[in-house]
Each structure stands twice: as structure tokens, then as C-alpha cells.
Structure 1
Amino acid sequence: MRIAKILGIVALVYVLLVTVFESLLGYFQPQGPGTLVITTTDADGNPHDRVLSELESDGKAYVAVNHWPRAWYGHVLANPEVTIRRGEDPAGQPHTAVALARDEEVRVAADNPTGVVFRILTGFPPRHFVRLDPKDETAPSSAP
């Protein structure tokens, strides 16, 4: 009984740690080298900004969906027309966000692994990727 109580407390502390870590990331949205701001649009047409790390694979830009708060990902799936701002670009550039086919997703994951500490702190969420195709060179969509 004592071991079960200790394990329960450890599990509760872990869930609280993940919740606090994810909440602070969502609230502060830290920016730095290698980050971008993606502006998505919800069903009512309201814009939403999210700071994400930009990833690269095979010369193309990607972002990872690897945190539990992911409303922006739902917006992208419903309306893939997004705006991407990098650095000091105030206006941003129009892009099409493309969900990946399985083979491309496996390649991007292999090219951009996450560390064990990050996976622990984020509670081992499922990881997906979105390719960011510039509007003037939009590639054909891949089915997930």
C-alpha cells in the first residue's frame, strides 16, 4: 500500500510538472534563433499566432506538432493558408501548411530528433510535422 501511495504521488508530481512546463511555454512563447511565428485562422476567421521552432529536412521548412496544446494544428488542418514571420519581418510571408505522408514524416523525424529530457518534460506527446510551402512555390499536397 505504501509503494502504491508513493507511485501515485510521483505520477501526480510528474503530471503537474508537464502541465506547468507546457503552460509556461504556451504563455511566454519564447522566441530566438531558429523560431518563427505562424499565424493561423480559426473557423470564425480570427487570426492566432504561435511561436514554433523551424525545422529543416531535404531543403524544405517544417514545424513540429510536439506539445499537448495544439489548437494551432487544428486550425492548420481546417485552413492550411498561413502566414509565417521570421526574425524582424513584420508582415510575414504567405505559406500553405501541408500535412505529411508517412514516409516524409519518418524522414523529417529522423532528421530532427528530440532529446529525452524534452520528451520527458512534454509528457511524451505524439509528434507530427507540417511542411511550410511558400505560396509562390506550393508543392502538391501529400495525404497523411
Structure 2
Amino acid sequence: MKIVRITLISLIGIYIGLVVLFESWLGYSQPTNANSLVITTFDSMEAKDRVLSAVNNDGKLYVSANHWPRSWYRQTLSNPNVEVLYKGEKKSYLAVPVEGEEHDRLMIEHAHPLTFRILTGFPPRYFIRFDLQN
């Protein structure tokens, strides 16, 4: 029984280590693709950039917080006036947290595969919609 317990604790520790390693690598490398954007958040008037994957749905632009490190998300909630560089254009947006039916629809239509969820440690997922400011 003691061997089973030690093995289980070791496996959990290894899994947590893999999640931390994967999340750290993503944060450090900031990988990009054709559908990436750069969000600029403002914390105490200090600008901070972060590369995120864009989610396009019904002509609206979204991003999702789907990793454990999410300081950009907290900064966006505290100051929703952000700038977004997307497809070569930088514009000012109001970041609106998505809730209810809209959130549920996005979760279904833009679901992550199980392997991604395993690698990221099954974090909760929150969406932000960008409403263009004039």
C-alpha cells in the first residue's frame, strides 16, 4: 500500500512539473501564428504587451484566458481600455468580459482538445470580447 501511495504522489508531482514547464515555456517563448494578436494592457499607466491567440466569431474579436498565468487578464479586468495589434493594425478597444450564453457558445464552438487541456493543467477558461473604441 505504501508503494502505491508513493507512486501516486510521484506521478502527481511529475504531472504538476510538466504543467509548470509547459506553461513557463509558453510564457517565455510567446509563440505566434497567423491568428495571433498582441494585447497591450495598462497597469498603473505602464504598458505591458502579451501575445495571444485571436478568436473570431460572428465578426467579433475575442481572446481567452486559458492558462494559469494570466496577469494580462487581471490587468484587463482592472483597466478595460486596451490596445490590440491584429493583422498589422493597432486599434483601441474596450475589453468586455464574456458571460452567460455568449460564453457557453464560445466554449462549444472554440473548444480546446483534451491534449491541450492536459498540458495546461485544466485551467478555467474566460473570454474577453474587444469592442472597438472611436
TM norm structure 2: 0.95
Runs of 5+ consecutive residues of structure 2 not aligned to the other structure: none
Number of matched pairs = 133
CA displacement 1:2-58 (0-9 Å, x = unmatched): 01111111100000000000001011111111110000011x211111110000222
Identity of aligned residues (%): 42
CA displacement 1:73-117 (0-9 Å, x = unmatched): 11110110101012444xx11111101121110011111010000
Amino acid at match of 2:50: R
Instruction: Tell me the residue number matched to 2:62.
Output: 62
Q: How does 1:2-81 map to 2 (within 5 A)?
A: 2-42=3-43, 44-81=44-81
Q: Say which structure is richer in strand.
A: 2
Q: How does 1:48-127 map to 2 (within 5 A)?
A: 48-89=48-89, 92-127=90-125
TM norm structure 1: 0.89
Q: Secondary structure at the match of 2:118?
A: helix
| Superposed CA RMSD | 1.0
Amino acid at match of 2:18: L
Runs of 4+ in 1 over 2 A off after TM superposition: none
Amino acid at match of 2:16: V
